[in-house]
Amino acid sequence: MTWERVRKAADKLTTPLLPDDYLTLINPLWSSRELRGRVEQVIPETEDAATLVIRPGWGWRYDHRPGQFVGIGVQVAGKYQWRSYSVSSPPVKSGRTLAITVRAMPEGKMSEHLVRGLKPGTIVRLATPAGDFVLPDPPPAKTLFLVGGSGITPVMSMLRTLDRRNTMGDVALHYSSTTPERMIFRTELHELAARHPGLKLHERHTDTDGIFGWDGLDHLCPDWRERETWACGPAPMLDAVELHWAAAGLADSLHLERFSLAVTGDGGEGGTITFQNSGKEIEADGATTVLEAGEKAGVGMPYGCRVGICHTCTVTKISGTVRDLRNGAEFDQPNEQVQTCVTVPVGPCTLNL
Amino acid sequence: MAIADVAEYAHLTKDEVEQLGREFDAIRAEIEESRGAKDAAYINKVITTQRWMAAGARIGMIVSSPFPRARKPVLAASAVTLGLAKILENMEIGHNVMHGQWDWMNDPEIHSSTWEWDTGQPAEQWKHSHNYIHHQFTNVLGVDNDIGYGVLRMAREQKWTPVALGQPVYNALLAALFQWGVALHDLDLEAIRKGQKDPEEMKRQLKQIAKKGRNQILKDYVLYPALSGKEWKSTIKANATANLMRNIWSYLIIFCGHFPDGALHFTEEELEDETRAEWYLRQIFGTANIEGGPLFHVMSGNLSYQIEHHLFPDLPSNRYAEISPRVQALCEKYGIPYSSGPLHRQYGQVLRTVMKLSLPNKMTKDDRPPTGADITIEHRRKAEEERQIRRTELGGWSRSAS
């Protein structure tokens, strides 16, 4: 706290900048202006997946809940690109690093860059942990995890937490992957299963065994109806799980984490704009700019020229997509700065206003 | 004399003007497309260099204070370094970041919405008076408050009063105190004088300026001198020197961008139904470049490429140098004058205008090329409701243009 006070007093010497802006000249992590982190290690997990061990800078609190994801912003070709990845390390209060595990997706420039192009020492931006795909504390007595591919990452954080706290209990893990080689954390899972008799690991290699049919669940895990279930994997798998659990009237005991974004509605323009700080909401059509819509909703929108020249109106879009009316460019990154006077919403979006 | 229709003045047909507009749009699109890691590295390097310079200068002033023999040379070097750091911060970094030139990086720490610069004027007010009023209505008499900043008579159309006789003095004062002149700029001195300013808004702005100004003065003239112990007086002098350096330099660059003889004025008729292409054309006619080497361009915030900056105010400043020959080629192709000259010539013309316009028009000869009707304009910014109407129109042309 005294340290905080010293920095606050030093404000007067560095105004209009912050002491942190100068401290980062010495160490890029010495700033709480934006959450930052330094990539300490890039550990290959499989041929196309790697774990990034990140040392967060000032202001980071190691209190994520097992299963949550963090936003990571990496400068690619000069531009900060943001993605969210599940934290795979367990929450440790005295921790100094956090780990995320990333699989390079085909056509996924960013994931490809994270897995193969990121050098240790790179400074990245971080966003605070979020998401409600989390393990409660204390954990349920009987648990079922259904995992497809890289969906293992949030589940791994949960399993490591159960292991660390020695509260494994009765856990069934069904893990599908195309081949054994592509199975992230395979060795560690085997070790965990050997150490905890309560953890039953069932692996399925879909290239040789074919895709799992949910009718087989009764055979694989006869008491699945009694288990609190967490499922994470590709969208078709989650759709099937959701249907299966709904049919059994057990939707309440199922927790889902979807990685791939749902395709935007009917592909048409317009959408609901939510203003996070004021809690206001307004429906806008594809011809109404975000600025006009915000003004109609009674939000104090910053604005200037209203023609895209002066950038006075620029605000942070937390989520969703907007389209630039001038050239049709779409801005779909979370935490992106957008010019509200020349953009329209494409589907629902949320602004930091 | 002022231009009422820029296309007509340039002897271009409507189609030619629109064609020219498309050529400028193409340059913009090409630069936007090619922004990348090199540009990001450039601005980060400038910012890092500037911060080391500022920190080094401040520390130099403090640690040299107990050593009488080293004090003088260290203090002198620190003062100059701090002055250069302030120039870099205000011009190549602050001015350009606030224009949104680096917003594409999506870096919240180098962004027009969050940047606050090392000068008296609050960023919010600067973005209004400069990015909006000045860049949108460049050199339009009665609308662009940058024509003389409400202090000087810089166009023959502005009414002469005996107050103008003091111009050479006001000009020198403005140069020396430029930081504070800029700080008060968005208040719109002209509107206040005429009683057209909303008192509530004025109160809000003044409060903002007072808060920012207090912190600036506290830093340079109280806290850092205090840290120098017995040597506090010489630190005050050094900081004042640094601020003076920055004031005079930024005054010079800004005046040379808009007041040499090649930069022309417009009447409000020009704004009616003005297309984006005509807006481009007005930017070229209304501005002037200053010639110099690469370091000169960096230290002027690349505002020495004033024409390119006005055509593309939100493209990264480090790219103006490569845009410039292309703009010149287009100007040649369409027969448009491209006003450019070395600092001493440009400023010589500015100074001549300051002197001449302190006298009534009939006593002096106009140095600018004849442009249009000899009219007199009451300097007055558009009433709020009129401006609202104009905004909507502009929104329309911007969108339909692409």
Is A79 in Cβ contact with B314 (below 8 Å)? no
Residue with tokens 């481009």: B280
| Contact with chain B for residue A334, Cβ under 8 A | no
pLDDT in tens, chain B (402 residues): 689 899 999 999 999 999 999 999 999 999 999 999 999 999 999 999 999 999 999 999 999 999 999 999 999 999 999 999 999 999 999 999 999 999 899 888 998 888 999 999 999 889 888 988 899 899 999 889 899 988 999 999 999 999 999 999 999 999 999 999 999 999 988 888 888 888 988 999 999 999 999 999 999 999 999 999 999 999 999 999 999 999 999 999 999 999 999 999 999 888 888 998 999 999 999 999 999 999 999 999 999 999 999 999 999 999 999 999 999 999 999 999 999 999 999 999 999 999 999 999 999 998 888 776 666 665 444 444 444 333 322 222 232 232
Reported as a single tens digit per residue, the pLDDT across B147-163 is 998 899 999 999 999 99
Q: Do A25 and B52 touch (CB under 8 A)?
A: yes
* Chain A residues within an 8 Å CB radius of B120: none
Instruction: Count Cβ–Cβ pairs < 8 Å, chain A vs chain B.
Output: 132
Q: How far apart are CA B160 and CA B379, in angstroms?
A: 11
Residues 55 to 114 of B: which have CB under 8 A from any A CB? 55, 58, 98-100, 103-109, 111-113
Q: Which residue has the tokens 């200037």?
A: A304
A144-181: pLDDT as tens digits = 999 999 999 999 999 999 999 999 999 999 999 999 99
Instruction: Report the alpha-carbon distance of residue A255 to residue A240 in Å, rounded.
Output: 13
| pLDDT-derived band at A259, boundaries 50, 70, 90 | low
Q: Pick from A192-196, A326-330, A339-343, B394-398 the range whose average pLDDT is largest.
A: A192-196
Residues 357-396 of B with CB under 8 A from A: 391-392, 394-395
pLDDT at position A265 is 35
Candidate from B104, B105, B132 with C-beta closest to A312: B132
Nearest to A262 by CA among A240, A234, A283: A234
Q: Please report how many Cα atoms fall inside a 13 Å half-sphere around the Cα of residue A173, on the Cβ side.
A: 27
Q: Which residues are within 8 A (CB) of B68 and not within 5 positions of it... i.e. 6 or more apart?
A: none
C-alpha to C-alpha distances, A163 to A91, A220, B200, nearest whole angstrom? 12, 24, 63
Which of B29, B41, B131 has the CB atom closest to A304's CB atom? B131
Residues 6+ apart with CB under 8 A from B377: B2, B141, B142, B155, B157, B158, B159, B267
Lowest mean pLDDT among A28-37, A315-324, B235-244, B367-376: B367-376
Confirm if A255 and A143 have CB atoms less than 8 A apart: no
* B216 contact residues in A (CB cutoff 8 A): 15
pTM: 0.87
Q: What is the dihedral of CA B111, B37, B29, B107, to 10 degrees?
A: -20
Q: Is A292 exposed, middle or buried, given 0-12, 13-18 or 19+ CB atoms closer than 10 A?
A: buried
The closest of A303, A307, A302, A324 to B279, measured between CA atoms, is A307
Examine the pLDDT at A303 and tell me if it is beyond 80. Answer: no
pLDDT attached to residue B395: 26
CA distances from B362 to A44, A210, B348, B357 (A): 82, 95, 22, 10
Is A327 within 8 Å of chain B by CB?
Answer: yes
Look at residue A330 and tell me whether its pLDDT is greater than 90.
no
Higher pLDDT, A230 or B397: A230
Q: Does A302 touch chain B (CB under 8 A)?
A: yes
Q: Which of A8, A12, A13, A15 to mutate to test the interface with B (most CBs of B within 10 A)?
A: A15
Give the residue from B112, B50, B110, B74 showing the smallest Cα distance to A25: B50
Closest chain A residue by Cα to residue B43: A78
Cβ atoms within 10 A of the Cβ of B251, count? 21
Residues ≥6 apart with Cβ < 8 Å to B1: B156, B157, B265, B366, B368, B370, B371, B372, B373, B374, B375
Cα separations in angstroms, B397 against A317, A342, B383: 26, 12, 22
Q: Answer for the pair A293, A287: CB distance below 8 angstroms, yes or no.
A: no
**Is the pLDDT higher at B398 or at A23?**
A23
b/e map of A88-116 (b: 16 or more CB within 10 Å)? Answer: bbbbeeebebbbbbbbbeeeeebbbbbbe
CB atoms within 10 A of CB A185: 23
Is the Cβ–Cβ distance between B39 and B316 less than 8 Å? yes
The answer to whether the CB of B353 falls within 8 A of the CB of B261 is yes
A103-130 pLDDT, tens digit per residue, is 998 878 889 999 998 999 999 999 888 8
A56: closest CA among A71, A41, A39?
A: A39
Structural element, H or E, at residue A55? strand A49-56
Nearest residue of A to residue B42 by CA position? A78
Query: What are the structure tokens assigned to A331, written together?
Result: 């801005």
Band (pLDDT 50/70/90 cuts) for residue A270 is: confident
Closest CA of chain A from B100, distance in Å: 6
